[in-house]
């Protein structure tokens, strides 16, 4: 065993102890497949985590509808994204964990799956995998690509190496013109601006029976949602609830943590505020009439709560880790009034577009949060107007999909090529 393999195996063991790996499927992370390769043409999508995986789903669905002899492989690197794929991938699509970037593990993965096309979502770079894709002459595209200013500066220090790695892609479809300029600055050719695929994504799924159960349980209580929260946003929610309860004694605050495995720490943090808290993961408990904080610490139910709540704060925009923001489009598709903090750099272009269109409220700090939230809850007309602005804004942006699908179709092997390979 070489040094690099030893280090990567050690990394996997550490991640496994922290609950960040799936023990039953750990060999997949070392390039050992757990499923057979489907017959015929296989299109491979790689999406690093949940956000990219959700963008991938709409492409997968449309490609399979239009190409009946096609199969799809989706790889991701997180347990949460794997669970999402298990719930939402259509027939003729399978999921595997992405192998860590060791030459032998990469070779094992590619030798088994033999993808006819490789489609990289956003901009995660793995040198050994890229080199192997190039050596095998697998047609490849970078889709929904984005590049932060920080990443650009880092990559420019090794421009020649990065340019060689990125040369495997026939086309790069970027979210914004700024992203396109960044990739061109790294020497990439055939860079086109497609817009952000997230605007064309399907609505997050909703279990209608659960929706009815929750709606009946909540009744006419005023509610609001904190979505995809990180530390200490849950405590911010508790403080806001305690203040707003003075004016709205029946208020229910719903908190959906980004990482449900934090549930014990969240409970400990929230209990000190003297509020009545209920966890959804405990036998699917419903909020009771005196429940103040309902912690929805389950996976794959965010759409349910966006459909329930008229107001949604988008998490990791006031978090202690420096923030970055999560996707506000999913909330706006359900006509939620969207609120967010200052730190949304991971999706800056999207949040800027929302703010400029008046389709979201940007919060200065917790005091501003309290003031704005209180005002929305006291003004039905203002709340309704913001909800409709958000919903119509994302509807008008959903023009990205046909353009991206056309570029992908151009990479697929033609019928005569498939016959030659058979």
Helix (H, G, I), strand (E, B) or coil at 255: strand
* Burial of 315 from C-beta contacts in 10 A (0-12 / 13-18 / 19+): buried
In angstroms, rounded to a whole number, what is the distance separating the alpha carbons of residues 24 and 86? 15
pTM over 0.95: no
pLDDT of residue 125: 85
> What burial letters (b/e) apply to 281-300, b meaning 16+ CB within 10 Å?
eeeeeebeeebbbbbbbbbb
Is the pLDDT at 420 greater than 80? The verdict is no
pLDDT of residue 54: 84
Sheet bearing 252-257, strands edge to edge: 277-279, 293-295, 252-257, 223-229, 311-314, 337-340, 360-362
Is the pLDDT at 418 greater than 50? The verdict is no
Sign of CA dihedral 18, 19, 20, 22: positive
What does the block give as tokens for 290?
């005196």
Cα–Cα nearest to 408, from 76, 170, 91:
170
pLDDT digits (tens, 9 = 90+) for 93-141: 999 999 999 999 999 999 999 999 999 997 778 999 999 999 999 999 9
Cα–Cα nearest to 306, from 334, 347, 266, 271:
334
pLDDT of residue 417: 53
pLDDT band at 50 (very low <50, low <70, confident <90, very high): confident
In angstroms, rounded to a whole number, what is the distance separating the alpha carbons of residues 137 and 130? 11
pLDDT of residue 191: 97
pLDDT digits (tens, 9 = 90+) for 60-102: 999 999 999 999 999 999 998 999 899 899 999 999 999 999 9
Is the pLDDT at 422 greater than 60? The verdict is no
CB 106 within 8 A of CB 99: yes
pLDDT digits (tens, 9 = 90+) for 149-199: 888 898 998 888 999 999 999 999 999 999 999 999 999 999 999 999 989
Is the pLDDT at 356 greater than 90? The verdict is yes
How big is the chain, counted in residues?
422
Mean pLDDT of the chain: 94
Is the pLDDT at 284 greater than 80? The verdict is no
In angstroms, rounded to a whole number, what is the distance separating the alpha carbons of residues 257 and 251? 19
- Bond prior to 303 in cis (omega within 30° of 0): no
Q: What percent of the chain has pLDDT over 90?
A: 84
pLDDT band at 254 (very low <50, low <70, confident <90, very high): very high
What does the block give as tokens for 68?
């009946």
pLDDT of residue 283: 62
CB atoms within 10 A of CB 353: 19
Helix (H, G, I), strand (E, B) or coil at 405: helix
pLDDT of residue 150: 83
HSE of 403 in the Cβ direction (CA atoms, 13 Å)?
18
* Domains, the chain: 11-196+400-421 (3.40.50.11720), 208-397 (3.40.50.2000)
CB 277 within 8 A of CB 295: yes
Average pLDDT over residues 292-311: 96
């Amino acid at each position: 065993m070489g040094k690099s393999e030893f280090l990567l195996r050690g990394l996997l063991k550490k991640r496994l102890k922290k609950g960040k790996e799936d023990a039953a499927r750990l060999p997949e992370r070392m390039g050992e497949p757990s499923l057979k390769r489907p017959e015929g043409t296989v299109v491979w999508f790689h999406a690093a985590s949940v956000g990219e995986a959700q963008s991938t789903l709409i492409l997968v669905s449309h490609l399979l509808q239009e190409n009946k002899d096609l199969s799809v492989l989706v790889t991701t690197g997180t347990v949460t994204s794997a669970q999402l794929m298990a719930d939402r991938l259509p027939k003729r699509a399978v999921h595997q964990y992405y192998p860590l970037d060791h030459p032998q593990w990469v070779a094992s993965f590619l030798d088994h799956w033999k993808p006819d096309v490789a489609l990289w979502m956003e901009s995660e770079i793995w040198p050994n995998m890229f080199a192997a894709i190039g050596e095998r002459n697998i047609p490849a595209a970078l889709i929904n690509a984005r590049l932060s200013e920080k990443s650009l500066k880092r990559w420019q220090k090794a421009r020649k190496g990065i340019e060689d790695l990125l040369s495997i892609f026939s086309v790069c479809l970027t979210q914004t013109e700024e992203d396109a300029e960044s990739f061109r600055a790294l020497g990439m050719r055939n860079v086109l601006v497609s817009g952000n695929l997230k605007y064309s994504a399907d609505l997050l799924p909703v279990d209608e029976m659960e929706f009815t159960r929750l709606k009946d349980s909540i009744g006419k209580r005023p509610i609001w949602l904190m979505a995809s929260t990180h530390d200490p946003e849950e405590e911010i929610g508790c403080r806001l609830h305690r203040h707003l309860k003075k004016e709205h004694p029946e208020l229910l605050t719903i908190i959906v943590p980004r990482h449900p495995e934090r549930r014990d720490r969240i409970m400990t943090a929230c209990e000190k505020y003297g509020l009545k808290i209920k966890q959804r993961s405990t036998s699917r408990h419903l909020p009771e009439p005196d429940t103040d904080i309902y912690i929805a610490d389950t996976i794959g139910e965010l759409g349910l709560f966006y459909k329930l709540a008229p107001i949604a704060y988008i998490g990791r925009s006031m978090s202690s880790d420096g923030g970055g923001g999560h996707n506000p489009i999913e909330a706006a598709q359900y006509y939620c009034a969207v609120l967010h903090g200052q730190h949304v750099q991971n999706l800056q272009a999207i949040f800027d577009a929302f703010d400029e269109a008046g389709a979201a409220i940007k919060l200065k700090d917790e005091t501003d949060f309290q003031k704005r939230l209180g005002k929305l809850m006291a003004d039905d007309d203002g709340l309704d107007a913001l909800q409709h602005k958000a919903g119509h804004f994302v509807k008008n942006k959903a023009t990205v999909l046909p353009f991206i699908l056309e570029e992908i179709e151009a990479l697929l092997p033609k019928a005569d090529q498939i016959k030659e390979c058979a």
